[in-house]
Amino acid sequence: MYICFIFILPIFIDFGVAFIHISHFSRRSH
């Protein structure tokens, strides 16, 4: 269970960072 969480957590953080970057770029372009 903990191993699964440790394996998924970095991917979840990566998606969050990408989402923040996309929202920031779309805000700047408009």
Q: Using a cut of 0.85, tell me whether the model's pTM lies above it.
A: no
Report which residue type is found at 17: V
> Does residue 2 carry a pLDDT above 90?
no
Q: What is the mean pLDDT of the chain?
A: 88
> Does residue 30 carry a pLDDT above 80?
no
Q: Which of 22, 20, 11, 16 is nearest to 30 (CA)?
A: 22
Q: Which residues contact 11 (CB under 8 A, 6 or more apart)?
A: none
3-class state of residue 1 by DSSP: coil
CB 27: neighbour CB atoms within 10 A? 8
Q: What is the mean pLDDT of residues 8-18?
A: 95
